[in-house]
């Protein structure tokens, strides 16, 4: 399974760039900054030649948010994908093709496997499983994999001294349809406190801007 990847994914920088672009283009920041930049760019050509301050501004509006986003959510070192296990059948397949989880109306439960592929040079991780009100998500009884532990109160799967950065676990999902909103979500977040490198010298208040917990994957329901 892990080998069936395109060749470019074998390169660390390529993987990282891909993950960054995927996350960033999904973000609200990008959705605002890219059209804004276009608008400024058009204005710059309308009013004057391209070399005036407006065109610098256009480039800035495009590039600066991307840099900010990169610093805030780096290191982009993990890919997560999932497969639904239970219930199985046509409805499930159809929902999965739309990127959604199918929950049967009778049992209100589902089970998925979550494949986690960290880049090899990491030695600790913390993954928080977060869900909207009315949905309970928890690992199966014979999870997590060896070496990892599960913190029930925080709903975190974590491990130190990781020797296998690519692993998988199952998640049980219980859905109370009376309590949930229209479009409920489950999120897996990377809550590990990474070393921020040179940024560590910045004052704490500024650092908190960068210490966000990025969502790596989002599940939604059909």
Residue 65 near another protein by CB under 8 A: no
Q: x-or-dash pattern for another protein, window 133-152, by CB under 8 A?
A: -----xxxxxxxxx-xxx-x
Span interacting with another protein, options 12-20, 64-72, 108-116, 183-191, rule CB under 8 A: 108-116
Residue 84 near another protein by CB under 8 A: yes
Given the complex with another protein, which of 61 and 148 has the nearer CB atom?
A: 148
Residue 162 near another protein by CB under 8 A: no
Q: What residues numbered 4-23 form the site for another protein, per CB under 8 A? A: none
Nearest to 135 by CA among 182, 69, 88: 182
* CB count in 10 Å sphere of residue 17: 13
Q: At its nearest, how many Å lie between another protein and the CB of residue 156?
A: 12
Residue 106 near another protein by CB under 8 A: no
**101-105: which pairs have CB atoms within 8 A and are 24 or more residues apart?**
101/173, 101/186, 101/219, 101/220, 101/221, 101/222, 102/221, 102/222, 103/173, 103/175, 103/221, 103/222, 105/177
Residues that bind another protein in the complex, under the rule CB under 8 A: 1, 83-86, 88, 111-113, 115, 138-146, 148-150, 152, 168-170, 172
């Amino acid at each position: 399974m892990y080998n069936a990847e395109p060749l470019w994914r074998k390169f660390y920088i390529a993987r990282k760039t891909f993950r960054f672009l995927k996350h960033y283009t999904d973000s609200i920041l990008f959705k605002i900054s890219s059209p804004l930049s276009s608008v400024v760019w058009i204005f710059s050509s309308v009013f004057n030649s391209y070399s005036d301050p407006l065109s610098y501004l256009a480039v800035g509006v495009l590039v600066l948010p991307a840099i900010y986003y990169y610093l805030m959510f780096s290191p982009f070192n993990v890919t997560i994908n999932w497969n639904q296990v239970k219930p199985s059948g046509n409805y499930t397949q159809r929902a999965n093709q739309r990127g959604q989880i199918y929950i049967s109306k009778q049992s209100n439960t589902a089970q998925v496997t979550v494949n986690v592929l960290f880049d090899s040079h990491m030695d600790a991780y913390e993954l928080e499983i977060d869900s909207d009100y009315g949905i309970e998500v928890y690992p199966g009884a014979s999870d997590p994999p060896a070496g990892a532990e599960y913190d029930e109160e925080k709903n975190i799967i974590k491990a130190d001294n990781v020797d296998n950065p690519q692993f998988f676990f199952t998640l049980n999902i219980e859905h109370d349809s009376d309590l949930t909103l229209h479009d409920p979500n489950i999120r897996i977040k990377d809550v590990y406190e990474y070393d921020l490198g040179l940024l560590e010298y910045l004052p704490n208040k500024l650092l908190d801007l960068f210490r966000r917990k990025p969502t790596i994957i989002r599940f939604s329901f059909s």
